[in-house]
Amino acid sequence: MITYNLFGRVFGTEAKKLVRKNDPDTSRESAALVDSGRLEGMVYEAIKKFGDKGCISDQIRAMYPNYPYSSITARYRALLDKGFIVDTGERRQGQSGRSQRVLKVETK
């Protein structure tokens, strides 16, 4: 795991937490290569830029058009579990026409 420390928040997830028990060995190898600390930090910083109004996934993904979908969206769960971001309960329409949750940085 590679960690990224920003203002006292430590980003990064152990590779074993990025795979399921029944995943093939190739998934485990790939998980070990993911720089989750850097990715979590990037997503956190992107969400933070939207301030109190928060943002939806489409807005975050638009900031990182050269990254695969899952490299960005997989970071939300870790950031939510760590209490770094919150789901506001609000929903906004995404580009697909479907509702997306509004996320924002937790300002404890």
Do residues 92 and 56 touch, judged by C-beta distance below 8 A?
Answer: yes
Summarised one tens digit per residue, pLDDT across range 31-86 is 565 667 788 899 999 999 999 999 999 999 999 999 999 889 988 998 999 999 99
pLDDT at 44: 94
Summarised one tens digit per residue, pLDDT across range 10-27 is 777 665 665 567 877 676
Separation of alpha carbons 60 and 75, rounded Å: 11
Residue 100's beta-bridge partner residues? 92
Sign of CA dihedral 59, 92, 90, 70: negative
The three-class DSSP label of residue 101 is strand
pLDDT at 9: 64
